[in-house]
């Protein structure tokens, strides 16, 4: 997958990912071809293969982009309770339910889970924990993995369970109650964007 900063290349990546999202509304992922994606995006196959290795790579890019959008929306908070973090995570997924459902329905939830867990783990590096618990990498991965797995399970089951009930269920597992951002929102945004 292309990871540079060339504006034209980044635009091509966005156009290809938007084309895949649009096609997934009408076709199963397994029936979508690179040619279909390129045609819908208005770019050549050569451009596609400069940007991505496969259509799964496009799905990973979509999930990564959405997860970065979530991360950047969260760093504006100085302090978050675990319940607020959970609620905002479930709410973000609910607001993007169509994309999430398309990924789940096409057996691509592993891509979503991978990207969401990486994003939440990275996000938690921008916050300190207010309890005696140590907020080290293993605990961040544990919290992120549990929360992401519950969200994926909720989407897979097309759950009618309320967001509030899901959040309460998750937060009762922990004694951690809040997180405080380390540094400024700008510093955290730069860290998350690799700047």
Least confident interval from 16-20, 51-55, 63-67, 129-133? 129-133
Read off the pLDDT of residues 141-183 as tens digits, 9 standing for 90 and up: 888 888 888 888 877 776 677 778 888 888 887 777 778 888 8
Contacts of 34 (CB under 8 A, 6+ apart): 45, 48, 55
Read off the pLDDT of residues 69-78 as tens digits, 9 standing for 90 and up: 999 999 999 9
Q: What is the mean pLDDT of the chain?
A: 88
pTM listed for this prediction? 0.80
- Angstrom distance (rounded) from CA 58 to CA 64: 10
Contacts of 152 (CB under 8 A, 6+ apart): 104, 109, 112, 113, 116
- Angstrom distance (rounded) from CA 124 to CA 146: 13
- Angstrom distance (rounded) from CA 32 to CA 135: 42
């Amino acid at each position: 997958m292309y990871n540079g900063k060339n504006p034209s290349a980044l635009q091509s990546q966005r156009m290809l990912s938007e084309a895949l999202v649009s096609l997934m509304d009408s076709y199963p992922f397994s029936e979508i071809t690179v040619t279909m994606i390129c045609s819908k995006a208005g770019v050549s196959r050569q451009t596609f293969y400069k940007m991505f290795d496969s259509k799964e790579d496009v799905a990973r890019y979509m999930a990564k982009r959405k997860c970065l959008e979530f991360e950047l929306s969260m760093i504006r908070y100085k302090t978050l309770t675990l319940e607020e973090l959970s609620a905002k995570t479930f709410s973000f997924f609910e607001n993007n339910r169509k994309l999430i459902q398309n990924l789940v329905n096409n057996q691509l939830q592993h891509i979503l889970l991978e990207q969401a867990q990486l994003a939440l783990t990275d996000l938690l590096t921008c916050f300190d924990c207010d309890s005696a618990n140590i907020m080290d990498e293993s605990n961040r991965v544990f919290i992120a993995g549990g929360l992401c797995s519950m969200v994926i399970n909720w989407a897979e089951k097309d759950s009618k369970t309320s967001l509030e009930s899901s959040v309460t269920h998750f937060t009762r597992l922990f004694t951690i109650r809040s997180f405080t951002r380390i540094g400024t929102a700008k510093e955290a945004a730069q860290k998350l964007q690799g700047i």
